[in-house]
Amino acid sequence: MRIGDFKESYATDEAVFTTSTSRFWLGVLFLILALFPFMVGDYLLYMANITGIAIVAALGLNILTGAAGQISLGHAAFVGIGAYTSAILSNRFGMPFLICLPLAGLASAFFGVLVGAPSMRMKGLYLCITTLAAQVIFEFFFVHWESLTGGIRGLNIAPAKIFGLNIGTEFGFYWVTLTVVIIAATVSRNIFRTRVGRAFIAIRDRDISAELMGINLFRYKLYAFAVSSFLAGIAGCLWVNHLKSITPEHFPLHESIRFLAMIIVGGLGNILGAIYGAIFMTLIPEILQAILKFFEEIFPQAMSFLFPLQTVVFGFLIVVFLVFEPHGLAEMWVRVKSYFRLWPFKH
């Protein structure tokens, strides 16, 4: 506890940012995020956008798997549903981006609840396999329902506009992504300040006593599936409007596992963890690329190892974090902060 940190009401004690120091740094962060697009080029903005989209999706999976403890191997498929919904709505019905966004989320949430329904009878590995089945089934639909999804050639969409402003550029889209990320993170945090979030964690920690506490297990598991796939759908809508095209190849099982890796590396059940994990996992391919580029002078074919190496590194990271840092980057960050709180004094 910090010295001089007095609280006079329960409301201030329950606030998210309790000290003026943390509010100050939050302000600094927002300032940096606001100035960022004016200082960097298109490539870094592109990186920021795909990171933001990954954060939204990871926040969703974090609620379902991290907090409510229902492992999902189908998260990429839900992102895909959101993406296809958005593309179809804007191509066929000419709907504007701001209407596509919530509709993509709702469509995804609908299928999420459908896939989550077996959770009434199944848990653990069995439910995990059900979500895997969902991943495979939805992928199949993406490829074979050609009249709707365009088959393996996929769909292209026109650059989106908000109130006539073009957000098709990296610069324009940055503001959309940033806003959505902030809203998604706030909503996630809010849920865990109320009985709904507590019920999720209770189901993860001990489902039997959760039920004896008066929690309707089935309803809350469905809630978790709904919120999680809603956020996935939102991420999907952002995705398709950012890339302006989709094919089924964008949402394979590998992508689902990447989302799982994000929340494991970041810290299961931790909102900041999901954010750190998404940033970390999106940056790794870039870091790998930089390293391989460095070695290209010595080994001319180094670049051809990029893709297989990515898979190996992802797998390695998951194992390392599960064994040595089960609480992920979020916990490491807390340790670093508490170390420097008194630095350079020992105690």
Per-residue mark of binding to other proteins, 255-294 (x: CB under 8 A): --------------x-------------------------
Which one of the spans 111-119, 145-153, 201-209, 272-280 is the region binding other proteins (CB under 8 A)? Answer: 201-209
User: Looking at beta carbons only, is 217 or 253 nearer to other proteins?
Assistant: 217
Judged by CB under 8 A, the number of residues near other proteins is: 33
CA angle 151, 155, 158 (to 5 degrees): 170
> Which tokens belong to 135?
């991943």
Neighbours of 306 (CB within 10 A): 14
Torsion 50-174-232-143 (CA) sign: negative
Q: Measured from the CB of residue 215, what is the shortest distance to other proteins in angstroms?
A: 6
Cα 77 versus chain centre, distance: 13
By CB under 8 A, residue 190 contacts other proteins: yes
Return d(Cα 84, Cα 155) in angstroms, integer: 8
Return d(Cα 302, Cα 179) in angstroms, integer: 39
Segment (H or E) for 155: strand 155-156
Q: Measured from the CB of residue 182, what is the shortest distance to other proteins in angstroms?
A: 14
By CB under 8 A, residue 68 contacts other proteins: no
Q: Measured from the CB of residue 186, what is the shortest distance to other proteins in angstroms?
A: 8
Q: How many residues does the chain have?
A: 347
By CB under 8 A, residue 223 contacts other proteins: yes
* Residue in 40, 113, 117, 187 binding other proteins, rule: CB under 8 A: 187
Q: Measured from the CB of residue 36, what is the shortest distance to other proteins in angstroms?
A: 27
User: Looking at beta carbons only, is 154 or 269 nearer to other proteins?
Assistant: 269
User: Looking at beta carbons only, is 37 or 66 nearer to other proteins?
Assistant: 66
Burial class (CB in 10 A: 0-12, 13-18, 19+), 90: buried
By CB under 8 A, residue 217 contacts other proteins: yes
* Residue in 213, 287, 320, 322 binding other proteins, rule: CB under 8 A: 213
Return d(Cα 290, Cα 287) in angstroms, integer: 5
Return d(Cα 49, Cα 55) in angstroms, integer: 10
Phi then psi dihedrals of residue 166, to 5 deg: -75, 120
By CB under 8 A, residue 311 contacts other proteins: no
Neighbours of 296 (CB within 10 A): 12
By CB under 8 A, residue 7 contacts other proteins: no
Return d(Cα 104, Cα 23) in angstroms, integer: 33
* Residue in 94, 214, 300, 308 binding other proteins, rule: CB under 8 A: 214
By CB under 8 A, residue 39 contacts other proteins: no
* Residue in 204, 221, 242, 258 binding other proteins, rule: CB under 8 A: 204
Buried b (16+ CB within 10 A) or exposed e, 203-225: bbeebeebeeeebebeebbbbbb
Per-residue mark of binding to other proteins, 116-155 (x: CB under 8 A): ----------------------------------------
> Which tokens belong to 253?
């099982």
Which residues contact other proteins by CB under 8 A? Answer: 10-11, 13-14, 187, 190-191, 193-199, 201-202, 204-206, 208-217, 223, 226-227, 269
